[in-house]
Amino acid sequence: MKRIAVMTTGGDAPGMNAAIRAVVRTAISKGAGVFGVEHGFKGLLENRFVRMDSHSVSGIINRGGTMLQTMRCPEFHKKNVRKSAYHNIKNMKIDGLAVIGGDGSRRGAHIISKESGVPVVFIPGSIDNDVYGTDYTIGFDTAVNVGLGAIDKIRDTAASHERVFIVEVMGRERGFLALEIGLTGGAEIILIPEFKKEAEIGRICSVLKAGIEKGKDSSIIVMAEGVGLSNKFAERIEKRIGMEARYTVLGYIQRGGSPTAASRRLGLTFGYKAVKALLGQKRGESTMVGIQANTMVVHSLKNVIGKERKIDRQAYRMNEAFSI
């Protein structure tokens, strides 16, 4: 393999830059040329290839976001549109592609290798941690720590005013981020889409009431965005138990900021491992890198695509035990 291209797609995540740096420098060290594709799949359609050398990834390891930029690209779902991407890849003599992104990007990556034959390696990067085949995605740890910082601050004001505070965090349809932030932030209640019964208003209020009876003067609820709107929950709780309930939506704050050591390390290791895998791949072969039980793994994409990562049910129950 003489020439590879690297791109970031879907939502950005802190640590993606570390992965880009690792891909570029590993490829160069192995004697391959590298191009970056700007704006994700859209950039493939628009021929936005930029030559990368080791200097082009200097000074980015500590920066959040992605230097190659990313965009959602709905038109990539259309087969006839994708054909122009394959034409551009061929024209640029790219013989391997590294795609950094979330679960949606993985589907796009798989289709590219199936239809065009270009070998593809997928690198999981997402603050949501919702990618089957890896225990962690690049950026998750940073987003957890940003959420924790917010909870620690909110706790001060919640305690001073005898309030219930709902903190709504990202995660799309899944609760990985909310569970981790809630557990490590010491939240009384965690509401996630995977535990629907536990998110019923009657049950939430009885847990809060039991806390008040035991002398708790404030409570923190961490809620995943996939459960509903935190302002509505706050209104209903206030009506039912008569305690002031406030909400905060963390939103895009969680995506930004300098990546933690763990997010950088994952980006670097994934990037390195991905290039090593890609250089050995045959035409039509697509893989992904991941970390499972503290060990780096390389999966064939066809074995992992479309599968759903399971939530850690024990962690959820553990938090219930702690919030008595």
Q: Which residues are designated catalytic? A: 128
Block residue for tokens 């599968």 = 307
Q: Please state whether 300 falls in left (phi above 0), alpha (psi between -120 and 50) or beta.
A: beta
- Which residue number, 10 or 64, has a Cβ lying nearer to ligand ADP? 10
Question: Distance between CA atoms of 68 and 52, rounded to whole angstroms?
Answer: 11
- Tally of residues, the chain: 324
Minimum distance between the CB of residue 281 and ligand ADP, rounded to whole angstroms?
Answer: 20
- Which residue number, 25 or 42, has a Cβ lying nearer to ligand ADP? 42
Rule CB under 6 A: which residues touch ligand ADP? 9-11, 41, 72-74, 76-77, 101-105, 107-108, 111, 126
- Spell out where 53-163 has E strands: 97-101, 120-124
Minimum distance between the CB of residue 71 and ligand ADP, rounded to whole angstroms?
Answer: 7
| Distances 132 to 11, 106, 128, 139, 235 between C-alpha atoms, Å | 17, 10, 12, 16, 36
101: Cβ contacts below 8 Å, ≥ 6 apart? 8, 9, 10, 11, 40, 70, 108, 109, 122, 123, 124, 125, 126
Minimum distance between the CB of residue 101 and ligand ADP, rounded to whole angstroms?
Answer: 4
Q: List strands edge to edge, sheet with 97-101.
A: 49-52, 33-37, 3-8, 97-101, 120-124, 286-292, 295-300
- Spell out where the chain has E strands: 3-8, 33-37, 49-52, 97-101, 120-124, 164-169, 189-191, 219-224, 245-249, 286-292, 295-300
Minimum distance between the CB of residue 81 and ligand ADP, rounded to whole angstroms?
Answer: 9
User: Tokens representing 150?
Assistant: 């917010």
Minimum distance between the CB of residue 105 and ligand ADP, rounded to whole angstroms?
Answer: 3
User: Tokens representing 102?
Assistant: 């979330």
Contact, 115 vs 80, CB < 8 A?
no
Minimum distance between the CB of residue 166 and ligand ADP, rounded to whole angstroms?
Answer: 25
Question: Distance between CA atoms of 36 and 51, rounded to whole angstroms?
Answer: 6
CB-based closest residue to ligand ADP: 104
